[in-house]
C-alpha cells in the first residue's frame, strides 16, 4: 500500500471525510488512492480558488477540516486568496500540495517553484512529507495542528515519489488543549463593567447560539453593548436568537460606533481597526482613554471565559433581548437593494445557511433577516473577494439537509464562476443571488474616502461592468445551473421563493436600481 493511500486511511481514522480537489500530474497516485479509500468524498473544483474557498465554507459549517488537493506551486498560488480568508477566519484546512519527485526538483522543470515560500503567508504551518515511512504519521500530526486554537491552515507538500512509495498508517491526533483563562483579567473587567460606564463587549470567531446567549446575559446584567466583528467567522441570527450589533465596515461607521466607549471587553476578538488607511482619518477606532480588557484571543477558550464571566456577574438566569419574528408585505416595483433584502427576509427557511459576499448592495440584508426564522451567516472574514460562490459549495457539502443561500456582488462573482459547475455536478441545494449593480460600487465609496481627485472618465471606466454587459443567468446555464434574470421586486419574490423548494442549484441575477455604498 503506497504512502498516498496510507495518508488517506490515516485521515479517515481522524474523521476527515471530504476532499476538495484540482489535481495535476504530481497528484495522480493520490487520485488513484481516492478510488480505494471510498470513505472520503471527493469534490472536483475547476479552479483552485474554488477548491480553497469551498474548504473554508465546509470547515466553518462542519467544524472540522477538509482536505484540499492542489498541484505544485502555481496551483497553490491560484488558491491563495481564499486561504487568506480561511486563515483570517480562522478555519481548519489541510492542504495537500503535490510536487515534483524529490530527484526531479534539481532539474528545474517548468513547474518547479518554491511551494513552501508561496504557502507560508497564507498558512499557519508548512511542512514537507520527508519519507514514505513517516508520511502517514506526518499527516496525522497535521490534522492535530489544524485543530489548534480556533483552527489552523496547514499545508503539507507531497513529493510524487513519496506518494507512490510504500508507507504505514499513522496514529490518531488529539485536539490540543487551549490556554488557561486569566482569572485576574476577568476580575478586573468585571469590576470595570460594574462601574456603569459606556462599555462594549466585542465577540469574535464562531458565534453560535449558545455563545451568543451567554454573552447576551452578561451584557444585559452589566449594561454593556454586545457587538461582533465586522465579518465574524459564523454568526447565528434570526428570530429567537440573541440580538447583537455588527461593527460597521466603513471607517465613519466604526468611529461612530465606538465613540465615547470607556471599556472594551474583547472575547475572541481583536481591537477594531479600519480596513484601510485614509488621509486625515485615525486608523485605530478605539477611543483615546478607553480601557481595553483582552480576556480571550481567537485561539483561547471563549466558552470558558464566558462561563466565568456569567458566574461572576450572576447572569446565568438573566433574560436578554432576542430578535422577533415579523411578517413583511410583498414588495413591488423596480428591484433595489432595500426591497431585495425585504423579500429575502420574508422567505429565509429555518436553519438556512446564508453566505455573504454582497458588499455594498447587501448592507441591509443582515438587519432585515433578524426577523426571519433562525439561521446562520458566514462572511468573507479576510476581505479577499471571490470567496462567496466557493464557500457556498463547501457549506452545502457540509450540511446537505440545509438550504444554502449565497449573496454575491456581480464584481465578486466573476472571480470564481467555476464554482457553479461544482454545484451542478454535486447536485447541491444552493440559491445564488447575484446583486448586479453593474459596477464596483464599493470602489466608488473608497475613491471618495481616499480624497482622490474628482473622478474622471478613465477612473469611472475602471469601476463599471456594463460594457459589455455580463449575463450571469446565461453563464449559470452554461455551467449546468438554472439561471433566471429579474428586474422587479415581484419577479424576484417569485424566483427566490421557487428556488428554495427546487432541488439543485439556482442562480438569480437580480438587476438592481439605486444601489449605493454606505
**Cβ atoms of 158 and 167 closer than 8 Å:** no
The residue extents of the domains of the chain are 3-163, 183-313, 337-511
Q: How large is the average pLDDT for residues 431-446?
A: 86
Q: What share of the chain is helix, strand, coil (3-state, %, to 5)?
A: 40, 20, 40
Grid cell, residue 164, equals: 507512490
SS3 call for 96: strand
- Phi, psi of 353, rounded to the nearest 5 degrees: -115, 120
Neighbour-count burial for 68-100, b at 16+ CB within 10 Å, e otherwise: bbbbbbebbbbbbbbbbbbbbbbbbbbbbbbbb
- Domain covering 183-313: architecture: 3-Layer(aba) Sandwich (3.40)
Closest to 460 (Cα-Cα) out of 479, 442, 477, 439: 439
Whats the size of the chain, residue-wise?
A: 518
Contact 220, 241 (CB under 8 A): no
Integer-rounded Cα radius of gyration of the chain: 24
Q: Which pLDDT band, with edges at 50, 70 and 90, does 169 fall under?
A: low
- The pLDDT, as a whole number, for residue 442 is 77
180 within 8 A of 308, measured Cβ to Cβ:
no
| Contact (CB, 8 A) for 69 and 27 | yes
Query: In angstroms, rounded to a whole number, what is the distance separating the alpha carbons of residues 264 and 200?
Result: 5
Q: What are phi and psi for residue 405, nearest 5 degrees?
A: -125, 120
Mean of pLDDT values over 155-183? 77
Strands 353-357 and 375-379: parallel
Class of domain 3-163: alpha beta
DSSP 164-217: TSB--PPPPP-PPPPPPP-HHHHHHHHHHHTTT--EEEEE-SEE-HHHHHHHHH
Q: Averaged over 425-438, what is the pLDDT?
A: 95
Whether the per-residue pLDDT at 146 is higher than 90: the answer is yes
Asked whether the whole model's pTM tops 0.85, one would answer yes
**Which helix (H) or strand (E) is 152 found in, with range?**
none
d(CA 504, CA 502): 6
Q: What is the pLDDT of residues 485-511, one digit of tens each?
A: 999 999 999 999 999 999 999 999 999
How far is the CA of 48 from the CAs of 52, 69, 83, 294, 387, in angstroms?
A: 6, 9, 10, 37, 11
Q: pLDDT at position 319, please?
A: 82
Mean pLDDT, all residues of the chain? 93
State the burial class of residue 267 (Cβ atoms within 10 Å of its Cβ: 0-12, 13-18, 19+): buried
Nearest to 425 by CA among 480, 374, 485: 480
Q: Enumerate residues 6+ apart whose C-beta is below 8 A from 68.
A: 19, 20, 21, 51, 52, 55, 79, 93, 94, 95, 96
Residue 296 host element (H or E): strand 291-296
Query: How is residue 59 written as a grid cell?
Result: 470547515
How confident is the model over 283-312, as a mean pLDDT?
94
pLDDT recorded at residue 116 = 97
Q: Which pLDDT band holds residue 377 (cuts at 50, 70, 90)?
A: very high
pLDDT digits (tens, 9 = 90+) for 6-24: 999 999 999 999 999 999 9
Q: How many CB atoms lie within 10 A of CB 28?
A: 15
Fold of 337-511: Rossmann fold (3.40.50)
Q: In this model, does residue 372 exceed pLDDT 90?
A: yes
516 band by pLDDT with thresholds 50, 70 and 90: very low
Cα 514 to chain centroid, rounded: 28
Q: What tens digit of pLDDT does each residue of 253-283 get?
A: 999 999 999 999 999 999 999 999 989 899 9
In the predicted model, is pLDDT for residue 340 greater than 50?
yes
* pLDDT band for position 360 (cuts 50, 70, 90): confident
Distance CA 139, CA 127 (A): 10
Position 418 pLDDT exceeds 80: yes
Residue 196 burial (CB < 10 Å; 0-12/13-18/19+)? exposed
Q: Per-residue pLDDT tens for 23-47?
A: 999 999 999 999 999 999 999 999 9
| pLDDT at residue 320, as a whole number | 84
Cis amide leading into 468 (omega within 30): yes
C-alpha span between 152 and 299 (Å, rounded) = 10
pLDDT, tens digit, for every residue of 180-215? Answer: 788 999 999 999 999 999 999 999 999 999 999 999
Report the relative pairing of strands 66-71 and 18-21 from DSSP bridges: parallel
Residue 514 pLDDT class (50, 70, 90 cuts) = low
The pLDDT confidence band at residue 123, using thresholds 50, 70 and 90, is very high
| Residue burial 45-61, b: 16+ Cβ < 10 Å; e: rest | bbbbbbbbbbbbbbbbb
pLDDT at residue 461, as a whole number: 82
**Residue 517: band (very low, low, confident or very high) from pLDDT cuts 50, 70, 90:** very low
338-351 average pLDDT score:
96
* Backbone phi, psi, residue 139, to 5°: -65, -40
Amino acid at each position: 500500500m503506497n504512502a498516498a493511500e496510507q495518508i488517506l486511511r490515516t485521515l479517515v481514522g481522524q474523521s476527515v471525510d471530504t476532499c476538495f480537489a484540482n489535481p495535476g500530474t504530481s497528484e495522480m497516485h493520490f487520485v488513484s488512492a481516492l478510488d480505494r479509500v471510498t470513505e472520503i468524498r471527493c469534490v472536483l473544483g475547476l479552479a483552485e480558488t474554488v477548491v480553497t474557498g469551498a474548504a473554508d465554507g465546509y470547515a466553518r459549517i462542519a467544524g472540522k477540516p477538509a482536505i484540499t488537493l492542489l498541484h505544485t506551486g502555481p496551483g497553490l498560488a491560484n488558491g491563495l486568496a481564499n486561504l487568506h480568508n480561511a486563515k483570517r477566519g480562522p478555519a481548519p484546512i489541510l492542504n495537500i500540495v503535490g510536487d515534483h519527485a524529490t530527484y526531479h526538483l534539481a532539474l528545474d522543470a517548468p513547474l518547479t517553484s518554491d511551494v513552501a515560500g508561496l504557502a507560508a503567508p497564507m498558512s499557519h504551518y508548512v511542512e514537507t512529507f520527508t519519507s514514505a515511512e513517516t508520511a502517514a504519521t506526518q499527516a496525522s500530526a497535521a490534522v492535530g495542528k489544524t485543530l489548534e486554537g480556533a483552527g489552523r491552515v496547514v499545508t503539507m507538500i507531497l513529493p510524487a515519489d513519496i506518494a507512490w512509495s510504500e508507507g504505514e498508517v499513522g496514529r490518531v491526533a488529539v485536539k490540543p488543549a487551549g490556554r488557561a483563562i486569566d482569572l485576574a483579567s476577568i476580575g478586573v473587567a468585571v469590576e470595570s463593567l460594574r462601574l456603569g460606564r459606556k462599555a462594549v463587549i466585542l465577540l469574535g470567531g464562531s458565534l453560535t447560539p449558545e455563545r451568543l446567549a451567554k454573552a447576551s446575559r452578561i451584557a444585559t446584567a452589566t449594561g454593556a453593548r454586545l457587538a461582533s466583528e465586522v465579518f465574524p467567522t459564523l454568526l447565528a441570527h434570526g428570530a429567537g436568537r440573541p440580538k447583537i450589533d455588527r461593527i460597521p465596515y466603513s471607517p465613519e461607521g466604526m468611529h461612530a460606533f465606538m465613540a465615547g466607549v470607556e471599556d472594551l471587553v474583547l472575547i475572541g476578538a481583536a481591537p477594531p481597526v479600519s480596513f484601510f488607511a485614509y488621509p486625515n482619518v485615525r486608523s485605530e477606532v478605539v477611543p483615546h482613554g478607553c480601557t481595553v480588557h483582552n480576556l480571550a484571543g481567537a485561539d483561547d477558550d471563549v466558552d470558558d471565559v464566558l462561563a466565568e464571566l456569567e458566574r461572576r456577574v450572576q447572569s446565568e438566569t438573566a433574560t436578554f433581548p432576542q430578535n422577533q419574528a415579523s411578517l413583511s408585505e410583498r414588495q413591488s416595483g423596480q428591484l433595489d437593494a432595500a426591497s431585495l433584502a425585504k423579500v429575502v427576509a420574508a422567505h429565509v427557511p429555518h436553519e438556512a445557511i446564508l453566505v455573504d459576499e454582497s458588499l455594498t448592495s447587501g448592507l441591509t440584508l443582515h438587519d432585515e433577516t433578524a426577523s426571519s426564522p433562525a439561521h446562520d451567516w458566514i462572511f468573507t472574514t479576510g476581505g479577499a473577494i471571490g470567496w462567496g460562490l466557493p464557500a457556498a459549495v463547501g457549506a452545502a457539502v457540509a450540511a446537505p439537509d440545509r438550504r444554502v443561500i449565497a449573496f454575491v456582488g456581480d464584481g465578486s462573482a466573476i472571480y470564481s464562476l467555476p464554482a457553479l459547475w461544482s454545484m451542478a455536478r454535486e447536485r447541491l441545494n444552493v440559491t445564488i443571488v447575484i446583486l448586479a449593480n453593474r459596477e464596483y460600487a464599493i470602489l466608488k465609496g473608497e475613491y471618495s474616502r481616499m480624497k482622490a481627485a474628482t473622478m474622471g472618465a478613465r477612473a469611472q471606466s475602471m469601476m463599471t461592468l456594463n460594457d459589455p454587459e455580463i449575463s450571469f443567468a446565461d453563464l449559470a446555464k452554461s455551467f449546468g445551473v438554472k439561471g433566471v434574470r429579474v428586474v422587479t421586486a415581484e419577479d424576484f419574490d417569485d424566483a427566490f421563493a421557487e428556488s428554495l423548494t427546487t432541488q439543485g442549484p439556482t442562480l438569480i441575477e437580480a438587476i438592481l436600481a439605486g444601489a449605493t455604498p454606505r
